[in-house]
Amino acid sequence: RNFIYVEEIDSTNSFLLDRKNGVNESGTVVLAEKQTKGRGRKDRVWYSSKEQNLTFSILLYKEFKLFEHLNLINFSASLAVANSIENLYQLRTELKWPNDVLINKKKICGILLESSSQGNKIDRVVVGIGVNVNQSMFQGQFNYPPTSIRIEFGREVEREKLLAEILNNFEFYLNKISTESNYITREWKEKCRMIGEKIYVKEGDIIKNGIFDDIDNEGFLLLRTKDGIEKITIGDVSIV
Ligand code: BTN
């Protein structure tokens, strides 16, 4: 596969989204040691300390069938990271809707999916993944307290091995989107330990309270409120 390695960049997501860079091969991975303008969800800053993390983005180009299921692409990335960490280091992970990976209730990985359209059709989806690997200190803005594999596992780990495992697993799950998409939602639900819990979902100034009832086939959150089931497509989820 096409692999681009850079020491420093503004943001690996921005790089792959920018058509001027001429990268048009689906599956291309850009990995950076350091980002100067790393972005998280909701305009948060994502800080990557040099050589201690995995900071990379994967380009999906003109995969129109997949682009009908953006949330399942999100889930595929989260599952790929979670399973890779479980397999390599025997750590128990947990998924938080829509796409955080947690260990011991702390965030080990953030995922930012962004798309770009030509005309009014999405032709480019970039999946940005930041994994806290060997850090012991954290900077930046957090929606959740951070941790790293090193902290949870007790020693430094090899980033190359983890990256290879994540990329393989991601491909595996992406294939499932067209062949057996309920495989993804089923696995995702098994790893999301919030179902049935009282939660609130915050999007901008709006806060919605309810019970995390389920997720639907497309990976949207179904919130049980006093008025019935509401489908949530965006927001930050927290346990009450
Ligand atoms: C979040 O939890 O808010 C998502 C964080 C996503 C960070 C990754 S690091 C690689 C890619 N490039 C970016 O600028 N952001 C994503």
The dihedral through the CA atoms of 234, 143, 84, 193 has a sign that is: negative
Ligand 1 lined by 210 (C-beta under 6 Å): no
Compute the distance between CA of residue 111 and CA of residue 121 in angstroms, rounded to an integer: 23
Could you tell me which CATH number the domain at 198-239 has? 2.30.30.100
- Ligand 1 mutation target, pool 35, 46, 127, most atoms within 8 A of CB: 46
Tell me the per-residue pLDDT of 178-214, one tens digit each, with 9 for 90 and over: 999 999 999 999 999 899 999 999 999 999 999 999 9
Is the domain defined by 3-191 classed in CATH 3.40.50.300? no
In the chain, where the domains are located: 3-191, 198-239
Q: What is the ipTM of this complex?
A: 0.99
The pLDDT, as a whole number, for residue 107 is: 94
pLDDT at residue 142 greater than cutoff 80: no
Ligand 1 pocket, residue 38 CB under 6 Å: yes
What are the angstrom distances between the C-alpha of 115 and each of 70, 126, 134, 144? 9, 6, 30, 25
Phi, psi (5° rounding) for residue 201?
Answer: -115, 125
Of 25, 138, 153, 10, nearest to 85 (Cα)?
153
SS3 91: coil
Which tens digit of pLDDT belongs to each residue from 48-107?
777 789 999 999 999 999 999 999 999 999 999 999 999 999 999 999 999 999 999 999
Residue 78 Cβ < 6 Å to ligand 1: no
Q: E strand or H helix at 115, and its extent?
A: strand 106-118
**Residue 69 CB–ligand 1 contact under 6 Å:** no
